[in-house]
Amino acid sequence: MIKSKPLDDPTPSPQSQQKLLELDLLRVLAIALVLYCHSTAYLGWSAHVNELMKYPGPIGVGLFLCLSGFLCQRSQNKKKSKRTRWEVFRKRLIRIFPLYWLALFTFIVIFHVLSIFHNLDFSPLPATTVAHFFGLQLFLRSRYISHIPTLWYIGALVTYYGFFILMSRFKFKNFLILNVLFFALVILLKIVLKHQSIHLVENRIIMNYPLFLAGVIAGRFDSNLLYLKRHAMKFTLGLGIVAFLLFRVVDSESITRPHNFLIGWVDLRFYSYIFLWALFFINLGILVTPFMLKFSQPIEYLSKISYAVYLFHRPVYALIYGLLLGINLGSTTIRTLIFPIATLLVLLASHYITRFDIKVLKPKATQVMSKLFPKTATRG
């Protein structure tokens, strides 16, 4: 059994950090859950999987957030980089924002301007665009801006990255204490302000944070997933049973997706449910990885393009199914039959979008950021 270092030990683990196929497989699993969830809107069908598990999309996003926390801490463990905290944050912004901005533009053109397939209204468009451009969509009330589906995730992710880098100056024990206290304080303030009719910060950015923090903790004490690999079977069974019983014991109709600024029992039920199922799928992915070694190359490829798949699958689906409707071939049967082809086209588009991001967007963004923010920050 692996002996964990004391919480306040600032030294890196002596274990070398390995490249883990588990992380790639979990990204693939996460994007598969998101694609499956969103397919119902484009196929016009109602899958019966809801009798076993509701909201696969939010669960898939939960996997992504947990992986992000894990990778943040795993990178922090190395302790070899002499970059400042701002330089680390800048690198993550460059990794996230250029492709996100391209997706934002695509969403506005396809859904708001052209109204292809789904007639989505992002009015007031200037305010909505500015809020999403800076990743502030979860900090503004919906009456001031429209929330663009799928892209809310970036607003949460960038906030978590910034908070992690800000707090990483502390020893890990203090880091955990401060994080728990901060989370509890925010929940308390939300409850108090609820009675004052002051609604600040959407709940998704608060209630998804425990998954990110769970990834950070795993990255600190089990950066090569050795402990989880040894116990993946019992964790998978245990979490699966608890999640399934929660779904059965708690009336499934009461587990509904909250989209508001007020914290109540509906939020606690929903995000507890998402938390359990996300951890279940994480352990399931770790459990089955040894059986997927022969597929390591396609898994790594799908993992590499998963960010582009997440950002652009809705616009690509909309173009395909909008075309089918335009030529009077938009029946549910035809849309269902063509879904595998549409998904392959999503993957193909994501392949070229990822290449464009790597070869063009990221280098340009790096040049611009280097000019705007020279490396003059104080080292942490």
Q: Model-level pTM?
A: 0.89
Task: Tell me the H-state helices in the chain.
Answer: 21-43, 56-78, 85-107, 125-133, 152-167, 172-194, 203-207, 209-221, 226-249, 265-288, 296-304, 306-326, 332-356, 362-372
**Residue-by-residue pLDDT tens, the chain, 380 positions:** 344 444 334 334 445 667 899 999 999 999 999 998 888 778 776 555 555 677 889 999 999 999 999 999 998 887 655 566 777 788 888 999 999 999 999 999 999 999 988 778 899 999 999 999 999 998 887 778 888 999 999 999 999 999 999 888 889 999 999 999 999 888 888 777 765 555 668 888 999 999 999 999 999 999 999 999 999 999 999 998 888 777 666 656 667 777 677 787 888 888 988 999 999 999 999 999 999 999 999 999 999 999 999 999 999 999 998 898 889 887 888 888 888 999 999 999 999 999 999 999 999 998 888 877 676 444 44
Say which residues have a Cβ less than 8 Å from residue 233's Cβ, sequence separation at least 6.
287
Q: Is residue 340 part of a domain?
A: yes
- The pLDDT assigned to 250 comes to 62
Torsion angles phi and psi, residue 116, rounded to 5: -80, 125
Q: Is 379 domain-assigned?
A: no
- CB distance 106 to 131 below 8 Å: no
Predicted pLDDT at 88: 77
Identify the residue whose tokens are 């595998």: 340
Number of domains in the chain: 1
Contact 44, 332 (CB under 8 A): yes
Q: How confident is the model at residue 143, as a pLDDT?
A: 74
Q: What is the largest CA-CA distance in the chain?
A: 65
The pLDDT of residue 45: 63
Q: Report pLDDT for 52.
A: 64
Q: How far apart are CA 298 and CA 25, in angstroms?
A: 10
Please report whether residue 210 resides in a domain. yes
377, HSE (Cβ side, Cα atoms, 13 Å): 15
- 256 belongs to a structural domain: yes
Q: Tokens standing for 216?
A: 């950070």
Residue 95 belongs to some domain of the structure: yes
Does 8 fall in a domain?
no
Q: Which domain holds residue 249?
A: 21-371
Q: Is residue 11 part of a domain?
A: no
Flag whether 283 is in a domain: yes
